[in-house]
Amino acid sequence: MAEQTGIELNLTQIIGDEEVVRWLAGKADKTKKLYVGALQKYCDFRGLVPSGIIDELEDDRKLPVRGQGDPELQLHKFIEDMREHGLSPKTISVYVAAIISYTKSCGYPLKISAPKAPTLKKNKKKALRPPDVEKLVNYTACLRDKAIILVMFQGGLDVSTVCSLDVGDVAEGINKGECPLALSLVREKEHINYNTFIGKDAIEAIKAYLTKREATLGPSALSDPLFIHERKMRDKLRINTELIQKVMRKLAVVSGLVTAEEMERADLNPCRPHALRSAFSSILKLEGVNNDIIEYWLGHAVTYQSAYFQGITDELREIYAEHEHSLSIHTAVGEIKKLDEKYQGIITNQQLELASQREELQHIKDDLAAEVGAQFMQLMRDPVVADNVLKTLHEALKKKNG
């Protein structure tokens, strides 16, 4: 798959490169393996060692702006080559993201984004709304899981950030009775500092969980993980993303939001944690909240400096409070019950009115039948009329009997 045939590197050469070592520092073994494989393929394609890719970028950036862009062009050629060789869109996206990550870590970010792989129909996220979230919450007896679900939904947190929360992130706000409660967070992946909020449902769920936990373990230190393994409570072992994914997969089926057949077919849970984060975003957009504010609450890079938003926490809290009802499972369910009662009342009134009309009609029929019967008996008292009626009935019976 190489464009040039000058060199072909082995994994040892890739891993031994000093810049690659710095790039991979702190990454999980699985990620390291994936990234190194991607970089090796690109080096083979270009006929360059890893440092040669950075040297090329360094030289390119010294050119006038209008003369720059060859490294991006070469990466586009690599993308096309992978497509021609039948690599899946997902694989291509991962490989390009790895190369972009490597150049960025060396101080020369590429001016290109990794192509997004289309989501398979079977793996599409479910569009969750408050009644759906309520089902997830109601189908677990675990206070920790209830709190996790509500924090992700009402705060728009990704699963990794939820796992990274400490007791200290919520303790002061809970003690002060804050509602909405501000969370000061960092998205490690993007190195972004940001704030978001959680509403009453999530706050009450956290308080209930911590109260039960402290009854068993005693008071929590501010540095303790907010969410810990239930089976290893005394070790206060921080919960991990895999466990949350497992919990969501189980609840999606038992709550009826996803059928067992759908779950079996899908590579990804349609009701996965990210579906809660997406619900947070889409609901607030429908509410008309400014998009930059929503992006900031999600921990995304925005057009303004994050520091600007961090300085107006009270103003942002007011905006969140104004729209909290749309993220409240109890408010939403209450509104649905009100509507149900309203329309049930209308239906009941209509049914009563219809029954009354039927009864009145039956009275009319009975009265009419009685009047016709009375008139008929009056006529039958006349011998001539009675004789004619009997003759008519006799003829009708003869015809009927053949």
Last residue of a domain, one of 55, 71, 105: 105
Q: For 192-208, what is each residue's pLDDT tens digit?
A: 788 999 999 999 999 99
Q: For 8-49, what is each residue's pLDDT tens digit?
A: 555 566 666 788 888 988 888 888 888 989 998 998 899 888
Distance separating alpha carbons of residues 197 and 286, to the nearest angstrom: 18
Last residue of a domain, one of 327, 342, 363: 327
Residue 60 one-letter amino acid: D
Distance separating alpha carbons of residues 248 and 287, to the nearest angstrom: 26
The answer as to whether 246 is a domain residue is yes
Structure-token match 């996790």, residue found: 148
On whether both 185 and 63 belong to a single domain, the answer is no
For residues 262-272, b (16+ Cβ closer than 10 Å) or e, as one string?
bbeebebbbbb
The answer as to whether 72 is a domain residue is yes
| CATH code for position 171 | 1.10.443.10
On whether both 91 and 237 belong to a single domain, the answer is no
Structure-token match 């996965």, residue found: 272
On whether both 339 and 319 belong to a single domain, the answer is no
Mean pLDDT highest for which of 83-87, 117-121, 188-192, 372-376?
83-87
Q: Structural domain of residue 21, as residue ranges?
A: 11-105
On whether both 338 and 298 belong to a single domain, the answer is no
Mean pLDDT highest for which of 6-10, 80-84, 195-199, 326-330?
195-199
Last residue of a domain, one of 105, 138, 165: 105
The answer as to whether 156 is a domain residue is yes
**Using CB atoms within 10 A of its CB, is residue 280 exposed (0-12), middle (13-18) or buried (19+)?**
buried
Instruction: List the end-to-end C-alpha distance of the chain, in Å, as a whole number.
Output: 97
On whether both 141 and 250 belong to a single domain, the answer is yes
The region of weakest confidence among 11-25, 211-225, 316-330 is: 11-25
User: Between residues 287 and 2, which one has the greater pLDDT?
Assistant: 287
Q: How many structural domains is the chain composed of?
A: 3
Query: Has residue 292 got a pLDDT over 50?
Result: yes
On whether both 308 and 170 belong to a single domain, the answer is yes
Q: Are the beta carbons of 101 and 23 closer than 8 angstroms?
A: yes
The answer as to whether 364 is a domain residue is yes
- Measure Cα distances from 56 to 44, 192, 282 in Å: 15, 29, 42
On whether both 317 and 204 belong to a single domain, the answer is yes
On whether both 76 and 130 belong to a single domain, the answer is no
The answer as to whether 114 is a domain residue is no
Compute the mean pLDDT over every residue in the chain, rounded to the nearest whole number: 83
The answer as to whether 223 is a domain residue is yes
Query: How high is the pLDDT of residue 7?
Result: 46
Query: Has residue 64 got a pLDDT over 80?
Result: yes
The answer as to whether 117 is a domain residue is no
Contacts (Cβ under 8 Å, ≥6 apart) of 8: 2, 44
On whether both 98 and 175 belong to a single domain, the answer is no
On whether both 289 and 319 belong to a single domain, the answer is yes
On whether both 341 and 317 belong to a single domain, the answer is no
The answer as to whether 2 is a domain residue is no
On whether both 359 and 319 belong to a single domain, the answer is no
